[in-house]
Structure 1
Amino acid sequence: SHLHAQLAQLSANLADLENLLRMTSVQAESVRGLGAWHGGLFMAASKVLGEETIAGQGSTQSSRES
């Protein structure tokens, strides 16, 4: 009787674990998508800030020349 109760508890715990693993798998895919999205944002910000820096250097050089 005691073993039967333990087996039932083990079975319930395994079902919970299976559910949690399924949810974790879905969340891992979402985190992967977020990572790609953030990478794109960082690359875009780097491009914009780099262009501003180049434009800023160009304006300081042209003001020095005049």
Structure 2
Amino acid sequence: MSNVPRPQTSTSSRLSTVPSQKPRQLSHLQAQLAQLTANMADLENLMRTTAFQAQKIRGLGGYAGGMFMAASKVLGEETVRGGDANSNAAQTGESRDRKP
């Protein structure tokens, strides 16, 4: 036999407490399962709402990106044209309105 000490509780006292606690434990587990089920239903609704909102935000992102690209094209061309004319005029000492 091994030299491992055994617990001092008797088998009869352990068996007598288990049946009295079993209905309480089962009712506690049942309450926890009901709470878990309710939380899972809430999570499902929130996930559905989040997925819907993500699709709408993606659409808004497309619109905003299109606006930025359009603004960049319009303002970029004017800036490039104006910037080139101003930098050339500054280098040569001429104004933009004069023709070379």
Q: TM-score range by the shorter chain?
A: 0.7 to 0.9
| Structure with bigger RCO (C-alpha 8 Å, 6+ apart) | 2
Q: When the two structures are aligned, how many residues end up with a matched partner? A: 66
- Structure number with the higher helix fraction is 1
> For residue 38 of structure 1, what is the aligned residue in structure 2?
64
- Structure 1 stretches of at least 4 aligned residues deviating more than 6 Å after TM superposition: none
Give the TM-score, by structure 2 length.
0.57
Deviation at 1:20, TM superposition (A): 0.4
> For residue 29 of structure 2, what is the aligned residue in structure 1?
3
Deviation at 1:56, TM superposition (A): 2.6
> For residue 65 of structure 1, what is the aligned residue in structure 2?
99
Give the TM-score, by structure 1 length.
0.82
Based on CA coordinates, which of the two structures has the bigger radius of gyration? 2
Q: Deviations over 1:34-56 (max 9, x none)?
A: 11011001001001102322443
RMSD over equivalenced CA pairs, Å: 2.1
